[in-house]
């Protein structure tokens, strides 16, 4: 992640690791072909695969992956809206017939269309060990950056239920992109009451200057750590 060391100071991890109630989960965000080498490639995305695989091997209580899994006419696509790439437009929930609660949406290139190669996990990712895979953005008219819920907060995925069932206390986030799906999922995790950690050397962002995004997360109580420190934390916990 560009400039991570300067913009995201890490926090001490020992208190979490020594907490007898420490139950960690790993959430791997959107390590898909289109985000690594395809139509919406995040710079440097391929460089974090090895670090993520090392974390996947650790004894987390849950190991979950997310995938964008869009229909080919998704509301976030510039082609769908007939707008310029990376321009911004207001979109509305399909239930908001009077269009009272709009949210600004970036117009993306077509990406991660369900059941295409672009939506598949990158081949080098150790994807066979995930306990669950959460699909996001499956409705043509609803955007979902967070793996918890859509951008209006009207519908949840299975992620809140899975974390609750396994009595998870701490959630660690890695993957792509740090300034979009990682950020918004981490913010939701904090709002749902979890101790939330972003592993700064296992994420990459679209933006070159990530300071504002780290500031937003830090203000929500999100902690920053490294893959080495996560290994220390998780290996100290009891093995389930």
* Rounded mean pLDDT, 140-148: 96
215: annotated active-site residue:
no
User: Do 106 and 76 form a contact (C-beta atoms < 8 A)?
Assistant: yes
Lowest mean pLDDT among 131-145, 158-172, 204-218: 204-218
Active-site residue, selected from the candidate residues 34, 136, 204, 223: 136
* Rounded mean pLDDT, 112-137: 97
Output the six-digit token pair for 134.
Answer: 């959460």
Instruction: Indicate whether 28 pLDDT > 50.
Output: yes
pLDDT digits (tens, 9 = 90+) for 176-218: 999 999 999 999 999 999 999 999 999 999 987 778 888 999 9
Query: How far, in Å, CA of 68 to CA of 29, rounded?
Result: 9
30: annotated active-site residue:
yes
Give the predicted TM-score (pTM) of the model: 0.90
Q: Give the Å distances, CA to CA, from 218 to 23, 70, 107, 187, 209.
A: 22, 30, 27, 9, 16
Domains of the chain by start residue, with CATH: 24-72+118-236 (3.40.50.850)
CA-nearest of 37, 9, 45 to 177 is 45
The whole-number pLDDT of residue 21 equals 85
Round the average pLDDT of the chain to a whole number and report it. 91
The whole-number pLDDT of residue 209 equals 77
The whole-number pLDDT of residue 116 equals 98
User: Do 75 and 107 form a contact (C-beta atoms < 8 A)?
Assistant: no
Residue 231 CB neighbours (<10 A): 15
Query: How does residue 1 score in pLDDT terms, banded at 50, 70 and 90?
Result: very low
Query: How far, in Å, CA of 27 to CA of 129, rounded?
Result: 12
Active-site residue, selected from the candidate residues 34, 170, 181, 183: 181
User: Do 109 and 78 form a contact (C-beta atoms < 8 A)?
Assistant: yes
Query: How far, in Å, CA of 90 to CA of 162, rounded?
Result: 32
166: annotated active-site residue:
no
The whole-number pLDDT of residue 87 equals 97
């Amino acid at each position: 992640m560009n400039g991570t060391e300067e913009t995201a100071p890490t926090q001490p991890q020992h208190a979490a690791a020594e907490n007898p109630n420490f139950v960690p989960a790993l959430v791997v965000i959107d390590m898909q072909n289109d985000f690594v080498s395809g139509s919406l490639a995040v710079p440097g995305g391929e460089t974090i695969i090895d670090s993520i695989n090392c974390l996947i091997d650790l004894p987390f209580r849950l190991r979950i992956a997310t995938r964008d899994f869009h229909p080919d006419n998704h509301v976030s696509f510039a082609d769908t809206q007939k707008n310029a790439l990376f321009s911004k437009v207001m979109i509305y929930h399909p239930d908001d017939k009077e269009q009272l609660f709009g949210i600004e949406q970036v117009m993306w290139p077509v990406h991660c269309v369900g059941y295409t190669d672009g939506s598949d996990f990158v081949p080098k990712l150790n994807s066979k060990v995930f306990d669950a895979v959460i699909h996001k953005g499956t409705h043509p008219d609803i955007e979902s950056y967070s793996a918890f819920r859509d951008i209006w907060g009207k519908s949840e995925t299975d992620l809140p239920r899975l974390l609750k069932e396994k009595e998870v206390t701490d959630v660690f986030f890695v993957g792509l992109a740090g300034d979009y799906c990682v950020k918004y999922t981490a913010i939701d995790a904090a709002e749902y009451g979890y101790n939330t950690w972003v592993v700064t050397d296992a994420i990459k962002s679209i933006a070159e200057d990530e300071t504002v995004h780290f500031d937003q997360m830090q203000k929500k109580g999100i902690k920053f750590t490294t893959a080495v420190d996560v290994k220390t934390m998780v290996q100290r916990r009891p093995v389930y």
